[in-house]
Amino acid sequence: MIEVEQVIKYAKMLNFKSLSALRSGNISVKYKNGFLITPSGVKYSQLETEDVVFVFLDGKFESLKQKPSSEWRIHKDIYVNKKEANAVVHAHSTHATAVSAHGKSIPAFHYMVALAGGDDIKCAEYATFGTEELSKNILDALDKRKTCLMSNHEEFLRFFQIMK
Ligand SMILES: [Zn+2]
C-alpha cells in the first residue's frame, strides 16, 4: 500500500532533517474513510509497515501492533473539517519551538510565508494535548491557512493537498 510507505518515508525524513527527533512529531495520510498515521512510542528509524495505524474518521482505530500517535485527534479533526487535506505533518522543530513560545503569528516578512495560504502564519492558542479544545484552537488558526504554529507545544503543523 503506497500510503503506508509514504507515512514511513516522511516520518523518517522528520528525523533526518532534524524537524523532529526520535519518535516525536507525527505524520498521516488520508486513506479511504480514515487515515494512516504514525504510531505512539516507536522510534521512526525502526518503523515498519505493520506499525502504521489506520484510524477511522470517528476516532476508532485498527492496528496489528501499535496505538496511533497520541495526537491522532488533531489529524482526525483536520480531515473532517478540511476536505482538501490529504496529508498532515506535525513537527517539533527547534525553530518552530522558539517562535511558538511567543504565542504570536509570523508576519509576512518573507515570501515563503505565502505557502501557508495567506499573509501570515497564525499561532494556535495553547490547550492540553489530545483535547477537543486543542483541535478547535488549531482549526481556528488554520482558517484560510494550510499551516500554523502551536503555542507552547513546541510545534508546527501543516496539511497538504497531494495531487493524485
Ligand atoms: Zn506534538
Question: Could you tell me the distance, in angstroms and rounded to a whole number, from the CA of residue 90 to the centre of ligand 1?
Answer: 6
CB 119 within 8 A of CB 70: no
Each residue's pLDDT tens digit, 23-77? 678 999 999 999 999 999 898 889 999 999 999 999 999 877 899 999 999 999 9
Q: Please list the active-site residues.
A: 71
Q: What is the value of pTM for the model shown?
A: 0.90
Each residue's pLDDT tens digit, 114-140? 999 999 999 999 998 889 999 999 999
Question: Could you tell me the distance, in angstroms and rounded to a whole number, from the CA of residue 145 to the centre of ligand 1?
Answer: 19
Residues whose CB falls within 8 Å of the CB of residue 155, separated by 6 or more in sequence, listed in order: 25, 90, 91, 92, 96, 97, 100, 149
Question: Could you tell me the distance, in angstroms and rounded to a whole number, from the CA of residue 112 to the centre of ligand 1?
Answer: 23
Q: What is the pLDDT of residue 97?
A: 82
Question: Could you tell me the distance, in angstroms and rounded to a whole number, from the CA of residue 72 to the centre of ligand 1?
Answer: 10
Question: Could you tell me the distance, in angstroms and rounded to a whole number, from the CA of residue 48 to the centre of ligand 1?
Answer: 21
**Grid cell in block for residue 151:** 503555542
Query: What is the full DSSP assignment across the chain?
Result: -HHHHHHHHHHHHHHHTTSS-TT-SEEEEEETTEEEEPBSS--GGG--GGG-EEEETTS-EE-SS--B-TTHHHHHHHHHH-TT--EEEEE--HHHHHHHTTT-PEESSSGGGGGGTSSEE-EEPP--TTSHHHHHHHHHHTTT-SEEEETTTTEEEEEE----
